[in-house]
Amino acid sequence: MTWKSYAAVSGATALATWIASYAPSSAPAGEMTAPPPRAEAIAAAASDIEEETARLQARLRAGAVYREPERNPFRFGVPGPGIGTAGDPGEPLPPAEPFVFEPPPPSVSLAGIAEEGTGERVERTAVLSSPAGVLLVREGDVVLGQYRVVRVEGGAVELVTLADGSTLRLTLTP
């Protein structure tokens, strides 16, 4: 088929669809029908709506009575009624226990100790594992900007926290 035949078939199909969708009226052309009695139905519906509106407005007015709030968010330390202790509503709450802050566990762990030297003088190097990777440290070195190495022993290393001077001892775990 050519494009001309496609156009002709498409046009004929569109015309047939348009004609089929146009429904003829069921009443004869010369006869006039009276409108249905809707005036009474509209008046009855309007009166029902007015009754429902009056009932709902009366219910809303009854629920809109002002009540004093139970708490005042702008007054600190004075509990409202039903808040705090079982005694007097104006009685202040007892002070809370102070929170003891425990420092987080150290971010470094001892992975091993290397010894170098002979005789009386032995140089020890601690092998530390940290989030930054493996660190090789000796006495006096600063670790991660938080700790200073004080002593490296055969199975342990002592670190001093720079912030508060507390001592942290890391040991080798088998």
As a residue count, the chain comes to 174
Domain count, the chain: 1
Strand partners of residue 171: 156
Mean of all residue pLDDT scores within the chain? 78
Amino acid at 140: G
Output the pLDDT for position 28: 57
Strand partners of residue 129: 109, 134
Output the pLDDT for position 85: 45
49 occurs within a structural domain = no
165 lies in which domain range? 109-116+124-171
Tell me the per-residue pLDDT of 128-157, one tens digit each, with 9 for 90 and over: 888 888 989 999 999 888 889 999 988 899
Give the DSSP per-residue string, 2-18.
Answer: -HHHHHHHHHHHHHHHH
159 occurs within a structural domain = yes
156 occurs within a structural domain = yes
Output the pLDDT for position 158: 92
Distance CA 140, CA 124 (A): 12
pTM of the model: 0.41
C-beta neighbour count of 110 within 10 angstroms: 19
Share of the chain above pLDDT 70, in %: 76
144 occurs within a structural domain = yes
27 occurs within a structural domain = no
Distance CA 162, CA 150 (A): 11
47 occurs within a structural domain = no
155 occurs within a structural domain = yes
Identify the residue with better confidence: 65 or 140: 140
60 occurs within a structural domain = no
With beta carbons less than 8 A apart as the criterion, state whether 105 and 130 touch: no
